[in-house]
Amino acid sequence: MSSSPRNTAGRPLSSVRSVLVALLGALVPLLAATVLTAPAATARSQQVAAVPPATLTEVTGFGSNPSNLQMYLYVPESVTARPAVVVAVHYCTGSGPAMYTNTEWASLADRYGFVVVYPSVTRASKCFDVASPQALKRDGGSDPVGIKSMVDWVTRTYSADPGRIFATGISSGAMMTNVLLGDYPDVFAAGAAFSGVPFGCFATTDGSEWNSACANGTVTRTPEAWGDLVRAAHPGYTGPRPRMQLWHGTEDDVLRYPNFGEEIKQWTNVLGVGQTPSATDSPVSGWIRTRYGSTGDRAPVEAISLQGVGHNLYSNGMASHALRFFGLDSSGPAPQPQPGACKVTAGTSAWSTGLTGSVTLTNTGTTAVNGWRLAFTLPAGQTVTNGWGATYAPASGTVTATNASYNGTIAPNASVSIGYQASHGGDSGPPTGFTLNGTACATG
């Protein structure tokens, strides 16, 4: 009687084949499930880890970028599902990293979970193109195209909410905010422009980046003419238009104050609301806020005039007002600047080209301040050369004094005194616009 073929372990080969068939039958569905699910898991992992969290990171290869902008991105640790996106646009001579360092948008992103894009100019002037014909039309082939590509990249990568894309900027960045909202009204939900000019006001045809007539506030148009410039950037568009928040100092000597009124004329016309304010108030001493089209925090147009303030008006606390206008504070709300939580007295003693400044900060709240940053604006031409009682940065414009190791705690009704020396170009006056940890201070 013949025997069945056997393997080296002495088992019949037919039995081994049966076991292998059974094992393969069990493994094939498992392998198929693994193959089908692994790419999705990998995609999710790549999406979440597109850039390191809580770290300013440069992103390259983000899409069409005709003017060679750089893209910097900040994604908080606690980024929300379908996050909002804020595009924070820097001033002339600035950069994306400078905008990251000198504004509160990253810290607000940490609190509310949105993503911040910081575009950065590489041309020599470090100013955004808000003047060329290419910049002033949709997909025209200049800076706005690159910024739109950045927004598209973030929207794809982080599944961002396309209905919550916002733009904000300072000076050149404020002008670009006006341009972005004109070129891409279907992309941006709202903007906040700090010290800017109307869309199209800076237009040139000779390649120049500067328009002196506009900067000096001598370009005036009817509301309809201003509105037509915006509408011409995207001909045929009939959809909703983004809301606009405008900020300007009455003593702006770079982009003069009449531009503020022209911006109001433009955006009230674009949004189809009257030029008579629906509401007027003063949320902070020295501020006059007018709202057009409605009285709430999300009016179609909101305009904030800062009495006696120059071009470098941005200070801590202002971004929170823009955040509220955008409607991104609904999970909080974030602390809003309120007068009366602190009081500041300031004075200067001057000589020919220099001065000594003294500042006394009083905690008028009911709880102790543990760690403080006092922001204020120096008059134009003043530069801090040294100081005591705090560290001071930057040396001019909007300066932040940060407590020393020995005076970081201020009890209720207690005071701390600090001082500095500065050079000046003729204006030896004291600083203005004091905010303590983002809260506006009374002065006296």
Sequence-distant (6+) residues with CB within 8 A of 273 are 292, 293, 300, 301
Sequence-distant contacts of 307-310: CB under 8 A, at least 24 apart: 307/250, 308/249, 308/250, 308/251, 308/432, 309/249, 309/250, 309/251, 309/252, 309/377, 309/432, 309/433, 310/249, 310/251, 310/252, 310/253, 310/254, 310/377, 310/379, 310/380
The answer to whether the beta carbons of residues 147 and 64 sit under 8 Å apart is no
d(CA 164, CA 189): 6
Position 373 scores a pLDDT of 84
Give catalytic status of residue 208 as yes or no: no
Catalytic residue among 171, 305, 315, 428: 171
d(CA 309, CA 249): 5
d(CA 310, CA 194): 11
pLDDT tens per residue, range 33-51: 333 333 333 333 334 458 9
State yes or no: pLDDT of 296 exceeds 80: yes
Position 123 scores a pLDDT of 96
> CA distances (Å), 398 to each of 86, 104, 129, 201, in order?
22, 13, 25, 26
State yes or no: pLDDT of 2 exceeds 60: no
The answer to whether the beta carbons of residues 230 and 208 sit under 8 Å apart is no
Position 49 scores a pLDDT of 53
pLDDT tens per residue, range 311-355: 999 998 999 999 999 999 874 333 333 334 799 999 999 999 999
The answer to whether the beta carbons of residues 71 and 58 sit under 8 Å apart is yes
Helix (H) or strand (E) holding 58: strand 57-59
Q: Which one, of 121, 119, 120, 134, lies nearest residue 207 by Cα?
A: 134
CB-based burial label for 218 (10 Å; 0-12, 13-18, 19+): exposed
Q: Which two tokens stand for residue 417?
A: 């005194």
The answer to whether the beta carbons of residues 362 and 369 sit under 8 Å apart is no
Helix (H) or strand (E) holding 25: helix 13-48
pLDDT tens per residue, range 137-184: 999 999 999 999 999 999 999 999 999 999 999 999 999 999 999 999
State yes or no: pLDDT of 17 exceeds 70: no
pLDDT tens per residue, range 385-401: 999 999 998 899 888 89
- Beta bridge partners of residue 291, listed in sequence order: 279, 302
